[in-house]
Chains A and B, each alone.
With several copies, the nearest count.
Chain A
Amino acid sequence: MNIHEYQAKEIFRAAGIPIPPGEVATTPAEAEAIAKKFGGTVVVKAQVHAGGRGKAGGVKLAKTPQEAREVADKILKLHIKDLPVQKVLVTPAADIASEAYVGIIVDRARKKAVFMVSPAGGIDIEEVAAKTPEKIMYHPVDARYGLMDFEAQQMGFFLYKDAKQARAAASIMKQLYQAFVKSGASLAEINPLVVTPKGEVLALDAKMVVDDNELDRHPEIAKLRDESAEAPSEVQARNANLTFIKLDGNVGCVVNGAGLAMATMDLVKYYGGEPANFLDIGGSSNPEKVVNALKIITADPNVKAILFNIFGGITRTDDVANGIVTATKQNPLKVPIVIRLTGTNEEIAMKILQDNGFSASSDMDEAVKKAVELATKGGKAA
């Protein structure tokens, strides 16, 4: 789960990390009022779940409250990577002597949380990794010991020669690790971590991604979710316990299991089509889930044919068949549907479908081929 910069900053602040003040505005007038309160130059930053805000025009300096109002107005009208900007964060502009990068991610190869720190901050860390890899220090953390003081200090000295600054950075890294673990995060990032001309070390930006699997354990984090900042179809899918990713093609896919769902998309492409989505109805399906899945898929005007690919294991194929029948009775389909079912209760499922005027195949390739054909040339299956 993504959270906004201003939310991540609150969490980091609570962990003790020094962060300049800031307030959120949803209108240009609010932005003006906040800028007035802070006085001096402010930064107005789009709060949106997408990278590259700066390049997209989502981060602007404003020297006066009036200017803050104007840039807020512009930013609040932006869409960044298809997501509308609905909030901006207004903070006093800081004087900066140097910019560094500090981040933690979970690394699958090392099976550990790993710190990445670099004295080359303020830019995309992947760019640093590609161009000047010697400027990044990777430091895996053994969860059994947590981040030890000497480790934080080693990273501090990698960033700064000055001992006071190195110690301040070490302390921030300890706090960041605490916040990371306590929040059940899979990513936590400060970019840039700056040194001011007076020698203070401050976090000017904050990013955190929380492991969805931790949300039950952290209700206070779960309620930070901002559904208005997410794609509506994905919100709808999540609330129906489905995993859904919208894509650009015209073959809507309903599959059980992530691996098979990807393989199905790939097979659509193999036979010359383009998948309209990734959709996994999960292991223990019920008819309700199928109904919701069809609602989400048929809401996409690009979809020209629907393909079901269900391999019954835990999933009972008769549940899926019943779901299809119910859903199409409620909302008759306007595009053709191709159904492939095999596995648990296959015979019952086939009978249910036939009784309701659907045909179904037990062969994946055959079904995919047909769906692609229908989506491309038009026509009606079922």
Chain B
Amino acid sequence: MSIFIDNSTTVIVQGITGRDGSFHAKQMMEYGTKIVAGVTPGKGGQKFEDKVPVFNTVAEAMKATNANTSVIYVPPMYAADAILEAADAGVKFIVAITEGVPVLDMTRVYPFVKEKGARLLGPNCPGLITPGQSKVGIIPGRICTPGPVGVVSRSGTLTYEVVYQLTRAGLGQTTCVGIGGDPINGTNVIDCLAAFEKDPATKVVCMMGEIGGTDEQEAAEFVKKNMKKPVVGFIAGQTAPPGRRMGHAGAIISGSAGTAAEKIQAFKDAGMGVAQRPLDFVELVRARLK
């Protein structure tokens, strides 16, 4: 079992002939992900890697394949339109990897996706992986292994770091989800926590947050009220100064809001385990699996 994707997931790659899109499409195919179509306007009729049919529009790709998922690797100025196109064509799970999507674009994309009844993950996220079944996005497959731990994070490489430590310690994962570091994204931490709570295979959840916003505080509230499974949390940016954006557009402390200290306090108040360093996840998770 897992959340959001598994071996029944069928994927359209938007931007499949681009530099990033083609590289990661191959990586996903090697991992075993069922890539059923690609989309690049003007390249309709071609075959990617002699196997995957390429279409001019997502609507055509959907008509031919009825995929349930799409993953987006198009340049930032076109990413919002690609998400709208996927949702309009009836794709139910849309993973937007692209970094640098204007936030005002997302204020239009978000309600559209919602109206269409689709789920968006990202943008500016590494995607997700259900080890041994499917990966959609860019998380390196070899650092993961199947097991009982659910992982959700706002960051890319920090997720890798934690997953890598878990895997090295023999602690496999149900699904690892990177929700992305942008201020407006499609799926938040709570959505993932709720899904993990429902997933019978997940026994413990690791949550890597960061400074900025109130997502983690709300997540902690959710854990307290709605979750029976144990959750271990971490906040990156304990040493970050206020008012400076730490790379991620969302990682900025505004006034007294969004500090690491208040988030960690919220975790503690919710009875969660708190990792001070990425390495701490190993022992905290192990203790909760016993």
Contact = CB atoms under 8 A, between A and B. Distances in A.
Contacts, number: 197
Contacts of A280: 247
B156 A263 contact: no
A263 B160 CA distance: 12
B246 A278 contact: yes
A258 B248 contact: yes
B174 interface: no
Contacts of B250: 108
A126 B255 contact: yes
Nearest to A263: B236
B239 interface: yes
B143 interface: yes
B106 interface: yes
Interface stretch (A24-32, A38-46, A142-150): A142-150
Given A163-B41, A265-B240, A314 B138 contact: yes
B107 A342 contact: no
Nearest to A158: B57
Nearest to A363: B279
B77 interface: yes
Nearest to B158: A259
Contacts of B189: none
Contact of B247 (A148, A163, A261): A261
B112 interface: yes
Interface string A121-141: 000001000000000000000
Most buried by A among B58, B100, B208: B100
Interface of B: 20, 41-44, 56-59, 76-78, 81-82, 84-85, 88, 99-104, 106-108, 110-112, 126, 138-140, 143, 153-161, 164, 181, 183-184, 208, 210-215, 234, 236-241, 244-251, 255, 260, 276-279
Interface of A: 106, 108-109, 111-113, 126, 142-145, 148-151, 153-154, 157, 163-164, 166-167, 181, 184, 186, 211-214, 216-217, 243, 245, 247, 255-263, 265-270, 275, 278, 280, 283-284, 311-315, 342-344, 364-365
Given A150-B82, A262-B239, 14 more contacts: A113-B107, A184-B102, A211-B102, A245-B245, A259-B236, A259-B248, A260-B158, A260-B160, A263-B278, A266-B236, A278-B240, A278-B244, A364-B161, A365-B277
